Amino acid sequence: MTSKKQMKSASRLYAVQALFQMEASEQGMNEVRDQFINHRFGATLEGQEYVEGNVELFEKLLFTAVNEQAAIDQMTDRALVAKWPIDRIDPTLRSLFRSAGAEFLIGDTPPKVAIVEYVDVAKAFFHLALSKKTTGAVMTVDGGNIAASLR
């Protein structure tokens, strides 16, 4: 049985993957959301078992990341060094920043918990050194109090 914490962690990973898929394939949010909920959450594909996700968190992350993308991207740009603008970074990392920014905006998760969760997501895609840079950038984005600045 999957715990609530595992389901939320899986939802964060799935949100990053879904945001990446939307950008790479130019598919719409509803189409990608349905694909993940119906075919990835709790599924077994090619011998790989996928953890059941928290649908509510997944949908909130996608909706907020898409609807607040410009504001999240601006905050992320300010958090990154001038040589590393958001439109030039790896699309997976860009999706991670957008999902993390969405979670900060939603405000249901303590920032320190969200930071740890997204560093874990980063480790699924990148080596440790980049994960540490991701931590710094995500903390800086939240340090800029993304939620307060967008309200």
Burial of 77-96, coded b for 16+ CB within 10 Å and e otherwise, reads eebbeeeeebeeeeebbbbb
Q: Rounded distance, CA 129 to CA 126, Å? A: 8
Among residues 150, 55, 54, which one has the least CA distance to residue 102?
150
- Asked if residue 16 lies in contact with residue 92, where contact means CB atoms within 8 angstroms, the answer is yes
- Asked if residue 62 lies in contact with residue 18, where contact means CB atoms within 8 angstroms, the answer is yes
Q: Which residue has the higher pLDDT, 142 or 48?
A: 48
Q: Which residue has the higher pLDDT, 81 or 16?
A: 16
C-alpha triplet 88, 92, 94: angle, nearest 5°: 50
Q: Rounded distance, CA 68 to CA 65, Å? A: 5
Length of the chain: 151
pTM above 0.85, yes or no: no
Q: Rounded distance, CA 22 to CA 20, Å? A: 5
Quick: pLDDT tens for 84-140.
767 778 899 899 999 999 999 999 999 889 888 988 888 888 765 555 555 555 555
Among residues 1, 107, 108, 103, which one has the least CA distance to residue 119?
103
- Asked if residue 108 lies in contact with residue 148, where contact means CB atoms within 8 angstroms, the answer is no
CATH topology of domain 4-150: N-utilizing Substance Protein B Homolog; Chain A (1.10.940)
